[in-house]
Structure 1
Amino acid sequence: MAASWARNREAAADEALIRSLYAEHGRALLAYATRLTGDRAAAEDILQETLVRAWRHPEVLLNGRGPVRGWPFTVARNLVTDRIRARAARPREVAESPATSPVERDHADSVVDAVVVLEALDRLSSDHRDVLLEIYFRGRSVAEAAAALGVPPGTVKSRSHYALRALREVFVGRRAALEGVTG
């Protein structure tokens, strides 16, 4: 029990340290990484990876050997350098034939969206989830969904209304939680 409490306390202290590092140096780090990369999205990735490394090695920030500010900026610069070297070492992607262009979109966003939707659907009651599955995933009309579920069409409409409202609340709550982490 004491070991668990000590680990939780240590984790909370590490989290507080990272939050403090972000609050004090996050904007400057983001601006620095943006200037180095010329790309805001890449700079955000650099900032995130810098904070992850700080979280993994909190002892570097607490060693008492000078100001803390230099270490994250050095890490960010090294991450940018590593990205540039990796890009230079990899051959450029080319289309398989002149008639086809290479795939430009990454499917990661759609995978994340699907996972989020599935998690949100799991939070619904089975009646609400079944109605949404029939209407939106199987493409059935209200009458067809009612027949498949064995309930009146009005019940399908009502359940879909409340199910969509519940999903909206899950997504709003998730967005608020994410903004609380990044804000």
Structure 2
Amino acid sequence: MPTLLRAPSPPDPDGFDYESALEACARGERFALQSLYEREARWLLAVAMRIVRDRDLAHDVLQDAFLQIWQRAGLFQRALGSGRGWIYTVVRHRALDAVRRRQPEPAGDAVADFVDTAVDDDGHPVHDEQALDRCLAQLEGTRRQCVVDAYVEGYTHAQIAQRVGRPVGTVKSWIRRSLVALKACLS
């Protein structure tokens, strides 16, 4: 499968270079991990809290995520995306793993739950539920459900593909395109 190259992310307004910090982590430079932690921990904790809905578990997720960031920083590739996005993805995946390990809970209002987990380019939560409702309504029904299943319910792409009876690659494409459309709509 060919690797898609993305345009480099715009620099952080105050000049912090997430990509270089991750590369420093890969070289074993502890100050880089500390800098990332001091800069992002409160936002990352909020992301974890919105997903796991338990403060103690969110702290555990954050600790596990930073351990994973430290251990796997060498896997980060600038050409594939932003350093900040990579960090947030690690936390999100650790949180979803923690939710999957717990007993299933009854689903709430999917749109309200999605608002709680949505973040903008800078990793800050999106709180405009009406705008999100409007943008989600513009997506085709099956694609909208795939996004909700992935980002609210925590299903894997394979699980979603099985639910909708489509190939995994198709589901991945739908979700990716839907997220691009949501981002454009919300900007």
- TM-score category of the 2 structures, normalised to the smaller one: 0.3 to 0.5
For normalisation by structure 1, the TM-score amounts to 0.38
Q: Which structure dedicates a bigger proportion of its chain to helix?
A: 1
